[in-house]
Amino acid sequence: MKGAFSERGAAILEFALAWPVALLLVLGSVQLAVWGAESFAARSAALAGARAASAAGSSPRVAESVTMRVLAPSMIGARPDAWCPGQGGQRPPVWVCATDLGSAMQVDVGGSVPALVPFGPEQGLPLHAQVVIQKEAFSR
């Protein structure tokens, strides 16, 4: 009888030691998948905004608007907002900045998205995408 109790105790101890590691692996995998999807969405949204603004007569405001509309449904726990680095005011968690470079349109998406398991003081994962597209030139 004594051997059965020690085997049961050993099994409980092994489970107690392995459970946190297994949980960390599962949560890490889920977080990596969500972050990958959000990063891909940021790149796709920046590309859509830059394409929309590269048409003749469009402005950076069009690029920001299109980028935010495309990006908003993909963000989990964060809402994108128009803001450029170096601009005054409080930086939103996820920001969109469009710049007219003359012959090209540049759209940046940046910030940080919330993490499932907060690590560190920032408690989020970095997000960055940059797209530069030449403006369309129509000739007659």
Q: How would you write the pLDDT of the chain (140 residues) with one tens digit per residue?
A: 555 566 778 888 888 899 999 998 998 899 889 899 999 999 999 999 999 999 867 899 999 999 999 999 998 888 999 999 988 889 999 999 999 999 999 999 999 988 877 766 666 889 999 999 999 876 66
- Range 55-88 burial, b when 16+ CB lie within 10 A, else e: eeebebebbbbbbbebbeebbeebebbbbeeeee
N-term to C-term CA, the chain: 95
Q: Which 3 state secondary structure label does DSSP give 33?
A: helix
pTM check: above 0.85: no
